[in-house]
Amino acid sequence: MKRIYHVGTVKGPKDTLIIQARRDVDFLSCECWQYFGERETTKRELREKAKGFLAYINAKEGTSFQRVIVD
């Protein structure tokens, strides 16, 4: 079942990008690097698209993240 999530990213340790999806914006990490707003999705869907999202962030920001975690 799709729900509304607030989606943001955090720079993790050792070239890791962490994608956070929270039901309330106040529960995103205070270390949030980028905020992508509200999305109607599931966490399963986010996990399935995580590699593509990682490639998008690396191309857009000029970063070199190697791993992605959906939290």
- Domain boundaries along the sequence of the chain: 3-70
Write out pLDDT tens, residues 57-71.
Answer: 999 999 999 999 999
Q: Provide the H-helix boundaries in the chain.
A: 43-48, 50-61
Residue listed under structure tokens 């992508």: 36
Check: CB of residue 46 under 8 Å from CB of residue 3. Answer: no
What whole-number distance in Å separates Cα of residue 4 and Cα of residue 64?
A: 29
Percent of the chain with pLDDT over 70: 100
State the DSSP code for 49: T
Write out pLDDT tens, residues 6-25.
Answer: 999 999 999 999 999 999 99
pTM: 0.93
